[in-house]
Amino acid sequence: MARPRRDAGTPLLPTGSWDALTPGTLSAGAELDGVRLTGDLRGLRAPDVRLLECELADAAADDARLRGGSWAECRWARVGATSLDLAGTTLRDTTWEGCRIGVLELPEATLTRVLLRDCKLDYVNLRHAAVTDLTVERCTIGELDVGQARLLRVRFSGCTVGSIALSGSRSEHVDVSDAGLLRLEGLDSLRGVTLSAEQAHDLAPALIKHLGGIIAQPNKADEAAR
């Protein structure tokens, strides 16, 4: 029997195996395969790393700068940081679980088959990023900025998101209909974004104003006469 075809808008999930990992350390330009990283990474400066089938777990990474690296088939688990700089980083087949991060910097990053699950992120910067197959499950995100980013097959499930800034982004199969979304900015870039009926209703006043329309206010005299 032929397998059912996958919905064209459903993100592909990451793959990876983290069995039999050996302890290791992270430093600038490191190339690691099958290593578990843990402990105190606060203030670490480690750009241009290359990691394959590695795990970063139970780590404090406040103010760590890991720019320009590549994480393939890796897992981040229970990582905490006030701020974390991953600008220009490539994340492929990577899972993040139970992470608590204040400011997550990912501008100009490349994300392919990435899963975020049970994470709390106050601010995420994905400006000018290339994002393909991103699944966000049961996460709380304060602000998400995807301005000028390219988004293909992105889905939020059971999440709470304070605001999403879309300005200048290009989206295809981006589904936020299952997220508790308080604010959406960048109405020019709504093409390719799926909203729930409730979200669309909440967005209607801002959209009308954006298009040059005027929303009539109730006449106080008429209201008093009712």
Say what the pTM is.
0.89
**pLDDT per residue as tens digits for the range 65-91:** 999 999 999 999 999 999 999 999 999
Give pLDDT, residue 6.
60
64 has which bridge partners? 84
Q: Are 141 and 158 in contact (CB under 8 A)?
A: no
Asked if the model's pLDDT at residue 37 lies above 50, the reply is yes
Structural domains in the chain, sorted by start: 42-214 (2.160.20)
CA atoms of 144 and 141, how far apart (whole Å): 7
List the Cα angle 39/45/47 in 5-degree steps: 110
Asked if the model's pLDDT at residue 100 lies above 90, the reply is yes
Mean pLDDT of 150-162: 97
Residue 200 main-chain phi, psi, to 5 deg: -60, -40
